[in-house]
Amino acid sequence: MSDTIPQLSSYDEPSLEAAFATLSAEVRQQAAALANAEAQENFRLHWLGRKQGRLKLISDAWLKAAPAEARKPLGIRFNQLKQQIEETLESGAVAAKAGAETNVQGIDISLPGTARQPGIAHPLLSTMHEVVRVFHQLGYSTNLGPQVESDFYNFEALNFPPNHPARDTQDTLQIANQQARPSRDRLLMRTHTSPVQIRTMIAQGPPVRIVIPGKVHRNDAADATHSPIFHQIEGLCVDTNITFSDLKGTLDHAMKALFGSAVKTRFFPSFFPFTEPSADVQISCIFCGGTGCRKCKHSGWIELLGCGMVDPAVFAAVTAERRKKNPDDDAYDPAKISGFAFGMGVERIAMMLHGVSDIGQFYSGDMRFLEQFA
């Protein structure tokens, strides 16, 4: 490209006309040769570059020497030339894009597009949704609580007194440097979702019908069926005249809704500090229908959840808290109301529903595993 500044012999109309015609022809000629985006950018810099652009250099040279009456026609012609250059660039850009196939800088519309995989719910999340939905259909609502809990909500109010051996059943991850605090305020990672029962009853009076899905933490070694972080779904129902029959009917219905109407349930005596009586619930093996197989260790039954009638000691702890606000509060007087609670492990249910044999798969982030749930 030429860099010399052309001489302008005179500022009269015909000389200006001729000089700009030459420049315009130069622009047109160069424009025709713009093969790709890089050439186009060079062309732009050559003409419109702010400091060394040809247009700027020529206009500086010509305008400086111009007599006053020639400035206006000069200015008009420079603007026209500039417009021609800009239009060339605009149409050039369009051509570069549409020119496609042979142009490496452009977009090749003949190539297949980039497929965007829509995300899916993680199998643990979809299992939680499935269980929660069953209870929503029974009129339950969902409550959540913090994963970092105080000793009071996680243990004490649930009738695990300090130093009571029942605490050994839930090997707890404590938050460091809590010794200076009173024992009820010491922080820990919640070991179950049951503290949300307490939080809910302190905040609202009966009737209560809630499910509580969430993450819990225990100092358990990881193996094929254990993980130090896992998920539970808790349920709590408190109202007048709630009986063990209601508990049995509710859980029997829920298990049938989750695993199919052929599933049977049975209840075994168990122990939890916050329920009395307590029970472990087993369902008939969904793999063999109860005849006995490897999955149910040839018993025909699979243990799935813990449950029981809310212990009056729990209502007493809740009432003591509520009385800090209202000394006459007796909303949770066990003479007037009763309730049941239950809790189940989400991983265990998800493993059964999907035939997963290693719990670690849920946390591995391995797309080959996760894609199977799409």
The footprint of ligand PHE (CB under 6 A) covers 192, 194, 234, 272, 275, 306-308, 341-343
The residue (of 234 and 321) whose beta carbon lies closer to ligand PHE is 234
User: Could you tell me the smallest distance in angstroms from the CB atom of residue 233 to ligand PHE?
Assistant: 9
The residue (of 34 and 314) whose beta carbon lies closer to ligand PHE is 314
User: Could you tell me the smallest distance in angstroms from the CB atom of residue 341 to ligand PHE?
Assistant: 4
User: Could you tell me the smallest distance in angstroms from the CB atom of residue 203 to ligand PHE?
Assistant: 18
Closest CA to 359 of 214, 233, 258, 222: 222
What DSSP designation does 335 have? T
Q: In this structure, which amino acid lies at residue 31?
A: A
User: Could you tell me the smallest distance in angstroms from the CB atom of residue 257 to ligand PHE?
Assistant: 19
Query: Which residues are registered as beta bridge partners of 95?
Result: none
The residue (of 59 and 275) whose beta carbon lies closer to ligand PHE is 275
Query: Which residues are registered as beta bridge partners of 284?
Result: 301
- Angle at which helix 71-99 crosses helix 37-48, to 10 degrees, equals 170
Tokens of 2: 């030429």
CA 2 to chain centre: 59
Listed in sequence order, the residues at least 6 apart from 96 whose beta carbon sits closer than 8 Å to its beta carbon are: 36, 37, 40, 103, 105, 106
The residue (of 82 and 266) whose beta carbon lies closer to ligand PHE is 266
The residue (of 20 and 272) whose beta carbon lies closer to ligand PHE is 272
- CA pair distance 364, 359, nearest whole angstrom: 9
Q: How far is CA 91 from CA 24, 84, 111, in A?
A: 16, 11, 24
User: Could you tell me the smallest distance in angstroms from the CB atom of residue 170 to ligand PHE?
Assistant: 7
Q: Residue 315, class by beta-carbon neighbours within 10 Å (0-12 exposed, 13-18 middle, 19+ buried)? A: buried
- CA pair distance 248, 243, nearest whole angstrom: 9
User: Could you tell me the smallest distance in angstroms from the CB atom of residue 121 to ligand PHE?
Assistant: 24
Scan for tokens 């029942």, then name that residue.
166
User: Could you tell me the smallest distance in angstroms from the CB atom of residue 126 to ligand PHE?
Assistant: 22
The residue (of 53 and 277) whose beta carbon lies closer to ligand PHE is 277
The residue (of 5 and 222) whose beta carbon lies closer to ligand PHE is 222
The residue (of 237 and 341) whose beta carbon lies closer to ligand PHE is 341
- CA pair distance 132, 29, nearest whole angstrom: 72
The residue (of 92 and 306) whose beta carbon lies closer to ligand PHE is 306
Quote the Cα angle for 142-308-310, to 5°.
Answer: 70
Note the residue count of the chain: 374
Closest CA to 343 of 230, 181, 260, 243: 230
User: Could you tell me the smallest distance in angstroms from the CB atom of residue 346 to ligand PHE?
Assistant: 12
By Cβ distance, which residue is nearest to ligand PHE? 343
User: Could you tell me the smallest distance in angstroms from the CB atom of residue 321 to ligand PHE?
Assistant: 19
User: Could you tell me the smallest distance in angstroms from the CB atom of residue 331 to ligand PHE?
Assistant: 21
The residue (of 341 and 352) whose beta carbon lies closer to ligand PHE is 341
Alpha helices (H) in the chain, listed in sequence order: 13-32, 37-48, 54-65, 71-99, 123-136, 151-154, 195-203, 244-259, 312-322, 346-354, 367-370
